[in-house]
Amino acid sequence: MKRMCFRSLFVIISLSACSEKELATHTPEVVATIENKIEYRFAIHPLHNPTRLFEVFNPLLEYLNHNIQGVNFTLEASRDYQTFDNKLKFETVHFALPNPYQTLIAMEHGYRVIAKMGDDSNFKGIILVRKDSQIKKPSDLVGKIVSYPAPTALAATMLPQYYLHTHGLDINKDIQNKYVGSQESSIMNVFLGSTAAGATWPQPWKALSDERPELKAQLEVIWETQSLPNNSVVVRSDISESIANQVSSLLANLHNTSEGKQILEKMYLSKYEIADNETYNSVKLFIDQFNKNIRPL
C-alpha cells in the first residue's frame, strides 16, 4: 500500500509539470500492463492544490484498486486548468473527474460520462469578502479587483461572473478580473486584502476555513449563485465496458460502506451517482448563455 502511495505521489508531482508542448505532441496512450496489472491514469481537475488533491482522492483510487481485480489506478494532478483541459483534448488519461464545463470538452474528445458527484445543490459559486469591507451589493465592486481560480472554473468563476452580470455589473468593464490559479489562492487573496472579493465554491471554502479558523473569523460569503450538475466521472471510449461499469458501480455505492463514507467525508460529499452524457444538457444551455452574454470560452 505504501509503495502505491509514493508512486501515486510521484505521478502527481511529475505530471503536474508537463508542458502544453509535451501534451500537444502526445498521442492517446494505450493501456499499459505492469506487474500483471493493467495501469489506468485517473486525472482529477484542479479543485485543490496537488498536495490536498492527493490527500482527498488517493484513498478513492486505493478503494478502486482493492475492489477491482487486475488493475492499478494512479492519480494524476495538473498544475492548472489549461493543462488538465489538454489532457482531455489529447486523450492522454483513461479516466478523469472534470468539472461540468470540462465534461463537455471531454465528450467532444472520446470520453463518456459514467458517474458524477452527488449534492448538486452544492455545485454553485460563492463570493467572499472581508467582514470589515464596505462591500454590501454588487455595484460596490465597481473599480475593484475580484479573484477567481481560472477562466474555465465553472462553479468558482463562470457562475460568479454570470451572477454579477445578472446583478447589474459589466464584468469586462466595471471590475478587474484576476485569475490566481487555485481555489485556495482565490480565497487567500481576499483574506490578505489583495482583492476586494474572491470567488470559489463551497467545498474548498469549507476545507480551507476548517483548517484556518481565522478565515471564518474575517471573511464571509456575501453571495451565492445558482447550482448546476456536479462534477462528472468520465472514461475514454477505448476502455472496456466491464472496467467502466465496475468503476461506476463502486462509486455509486460508496456511501453504503463504512470505508466509502470516510472517503466521501474528506470530499465534503454525501455520495456519487450513476450518470450519462444527457445529465449535462443543462450545462450546455448555461455555457451557451455565458458565451453569448459574458465572454467567449
At residue 50, the pLDDT reads: 86
In a domain, 289, yes or no: no
Long-range contact set of residues 202-206: C-beta below 8 Å, sequence gap at least 24:
202/122, 202/124, 202/126, 202/268, 203/47, 203/122, 203/267, 203/268, 203/269, 204/47, 204/48, 204/156, 205/126, 205/128, 206/268
In a domain, 69, yes or no: yes
Average confidence (pLDDT) per 10 residues, the chain, 297 residues = 40 42 48 76 91 94 97 94 95 97 97 98 97 97 97 96 98 97 95 98 94 97 98 97 98 98 96 98 98 96
99 and 222 housed in the same domain = no
Structural domains of the chain, count:
2
In a domain, 286, yes or no: no
12 and 79 housed in the same domain = yes
In a domain, 291, yes or no: no
114 and 241 housed in the same domain = yes
Residues facing 72 on adjacent strands: 39
At residue 47, the pLDDT reads: 85
Task: Find cell 502526445 and name the residue.
Answer: 26
Find, among 102, 85, 95, 96, the residue nearest to 239 by Cα. 95
110 and 248 housed in the same domain = yes
Round to whole Å and give the CA distance between 249 and 98.
19
Round to whole Å and give the CA distance between 6 and 289.
44
In a domain, 15, yes or no: yes
Query: What are the helix (H) ranges across the chain?
Result: 2-16, 20-24, 50-67, 81-89, 100-107, 159-166, 183-191, 202-211, 213-218, 241-252, 258-266, 281-293
Cell of 202: 463551497
222 and 254 housed in the same domain = no
217 and 240 housed in the same domain = no
131 and 213 housed in the same domain = yes
In a domain, 285, yes or no: no
102 and 200 housed in the same domain = no
Q: What's the chain's length in residues?
A: 297
**CATH code, domain carrying 273:** 3.40.190.10
At residue 8, the pLDDT reads: 42
Domain that holds residue 178: 124-227
In a domain, 42, yes or no: yes
Taking only the tens place, the pLDDT of each residue in 10-64 is 344 334 444 444 444 444 555 556 668 999 999 999 988 888 899 999 999 999 9
Domain boundary among 227, 249, 265: 227
16 and 92 housed in the same domain = yes
Round to whole Å and give the CA distance between 138 and 144.
11
Query: Which pTM was predicted?
Result: 0.86
In a domain, 294, yes or no: no
At residue 22, the pLDDT reads: 44
At residue 30, the pLDDT reads: 54
Taking only the tens place, the pLDDT of each residue in 130-144 is 999 999 999 999 999
106 and 200 housed in the same domain = no
At residue 21, the pLDDT reads: 42
At residue 11, the pLDDT reads: 44
